[in-house]
Amino acid sequence: MTESDPKPRLWIRDPLAILAADAAGGVVVQGSRIVECVSAGARPADPVDETFEAGRHVVIPGLINTHHHVFQTLTRAHPLAIDKPLFPWLKALYTVWPRITADAFRLATRLAYTELLLSGCTTAGDHHYLFPKGLERSVDIQVEEARASGIRAFVTRGSMSLSERDGGLPPESLVQDDDTILEDSERVLNLFHDRAPGAMVQIGLAPCSPFNVTKRLMRESAALAERHDCRLHTHLGETLDEDAYCLAMFGQRPVDYLEEVGWMGPRTWLAHGIHFNDAEIARLGRAGVGVCHCPTSNMTLASGQCRTCELEAAGSPVGLGVDGSASNDSSNLMEGVRHALMINRLTYGAERVSHLDALRWATEGSAACLGRSDIGRIEEGREADLALFTLDELRFSGAHDPLAALVLCGAHRADRVMVAGAWRVIDGQAVGIDAGALREAHTAAARHLFGTA
Ligand code: ZN
């Protein structure tokens, strides 16, 4: 084949079920994109070079994770942190995190990306806010690992600049000064941020939360995002402790704080978004601010329930995230879809929230939070990011509706995952990853961190 030859066309044929309009006959993939949706009983309009028989597979758009902290895979189920709500949980882990080395962080990133891929996730958003001595180039490591794994990455350059000494929550060892943060933010934007459709790596700016950054950093980050055309992300409305902190420190509630620092616009998406009142939801919706719902973490830390339905009705995109692996304590987004269904049903009732809503949050909703119209749905012209699950395990036996079964019976491991037209998971294994060796090295790094190696 010469360079001018068209790329081969792959027909993912006659799936058991597919989450897409008029594509019961499957999809044709060419290069990185879906070029055709095939109706039931039909054949592709043009000849194909290859066929993948998908009669055992339920096909959904690749899941999109819009909030995570991959470094936290090193401190899962940590004895200092379990059974605590957010603030005491954070203060306990702040004593451990400064010891994370660049090598350990690389393994943590690789492990989280692999876990995400295996759960059917094709776009990994991460909020990385830990830059102690030795980890100053964390974003670079995350981008290198994303490129090696083949997952689509949305890395946000997080930050903490307000230490205990200045009234913040983190210790001095975990903060950087505002100028260092802004300089590095600009560096990674210039190096890695791809604004083109089909981008495999994008960068956002993500000062960690009101209780650990300065207002100046929030304002300057918004200005930098405007100049570089990138998204803004932060934690907001996660706990009542945060409300109390903002009132005591700034004399305002978190949403007023967000408005004052110039973040009330469609560039912004927030992690958690739980403790908003009706008027605040209306303001966020009008401004087009997105919210990443993190059901597993919110239940683990007992933070509360994001008002997903009211936010969507008000105009806010709602996506889904696993949140950090120390408050989840895994990186499995498909499990997150099930948790989203359950907690939202508890809040809104069984008839108001369906498995399709939960899947929509994890796909289209997440894509909207990231400002992307090229991923999140299976349709002609979009990127070929697909997750294929089989229903061969005992837990699915007797299930009738295949798409409902994925969520209700608890699918948690994809059989095949495609990112930008390339298979990244085959037969339930991540391509190019020795999972056993990775687990061993990652476990050793975590033990070393904990002082038990
Ligand atoms: Zn978080």
- Please state the domain extents for the chain: 9-61+375-430, 63-369
Whole-number Å distance, alpha carbon 204 to ligand 1 midpoint, is 15
Greatest CA separation for the chain: 68
Is 63-369 in the same CATH topology as 9-61+375-430? no
* CATH number for the segment(s) 9-61+375-430: 2.30.40.10
Cα distance between residue 396 and residue 168, in whole Å: 48
Q: pLDDT tens digits, residue range 299-342?
A: 999 999 999 999 999 999 999 999 987 788 999 999 999 999 99
Whole-number Å distance, alpha carbon 58 to ligand 1 midpoint, is 30
pLDDT at 324: 85
Whole-number Å distance, alpha carbon 36 to ligand 1 midpoint, is 37
Say whether 198 sits in a helix, a strand or coil: coil
Cα distance between residue 211 and residue 254, in whole Å: 10
- Give the tokens for residue 155: 């890395």
Whole-number Å distance, alpha carbon 27 to ligand 1 midpoint, is 35
Quote the distance between the C-alpha of residue 24 and its chain's center: 28
Average pLDDT over the chain, rounded to an integer: 96
Residues paired with residue 319 on neighbouring β-strands, in sequence order: 292
Whole-number Å distance, alpha carbon 293 to ligand 1 midpoint, is 10
For domain 63-369, the CATH architecture is Alpha-Beta Barrel (3.20)
Our CA angle for 292, 296, 298, nearest 5°, is 70
Whole-number Å distance, alpha carbon 31 to ligand 1 midpoint, is 34
Cα distance between residue 362 and residue 333, in whole Å: 8
Number of H helices, E strands in the chain: 15, 18
Q: Which stretches in the chain have pLDDT values below 50?
A: 1, 453
Residues in contact with 132: Cβ distance below 8 Å, sequence separation at least 6, in sequence order: 97, 98, 100, 173, 174
- Give the tokens for residue 24: 């019961």
Cα distance between residue 145 and residue 105, in whole Å: 10
pLDDT at 431: 98
Whole-number Å distance, alpha carbon 271 to ligand 1 midpoint, is 6
Whole-number Å distance, alpha carbon 125 to ligand 1 midpoint, is 11
Give the residue ranges of DSSP H helices in 301-332. Answer: 308-314
Cβ(123)–Cβ(370) under 8 Å?
Answer: yes
Cβ(355)–Cβ(5) under 8 Å?
Answer: no
pLDDT at 453: 45
Whole-number Å distance, alpha carbon 128 to ligand 1 midpoint, is 9
Give the burial class of 262: count Cβ atoms within 10 A of its Cβ; 0-12 exposed, 13-18 middle, 19 or more buried. middle
Whole-number Å distance, alpha carbon 406 to ligand 1 midpoint, is 26
